[in-house]
Homo-oligomer: A and B are copies of this chain.
């Protein structure tokens, strides 16, 4: 395979795997957080506003790790510096 093709293939596979692997654990972490939020609301309905506010900040924090992976995948697909270098030459 020539340079262009092999870099393209590496980018495709890495972009896919990065998104897939990187989205696994945030989903578990968010599931755990949401699930505890629900049982906490059921246990202490009066604290619902505080709980949901803390929940959303926490979810954003957890989601951020999934977004890092999505960003890296998008960079590899659409702003890949190595690809730009080889197709420029």
Contact = CB atoms under 8 A, between A and B. Distances in A.
Interface of A: 1-48, 50-52, 54-59, 61-66, 68-70, 72-73, 75-78, 80-83, 85-87
Contact of A8 (B34, B38, B43, B82): B82
Nearest to A44: B42
Contact of A50 (B43, B45, B77, B85): B45
Assembly stoichiometry (copies):
14
Contacts of A22: 19-20, 23-24
A28 B27 contact: yes
Contacts of A81: 77-78
Contacts of A11: 12, 82
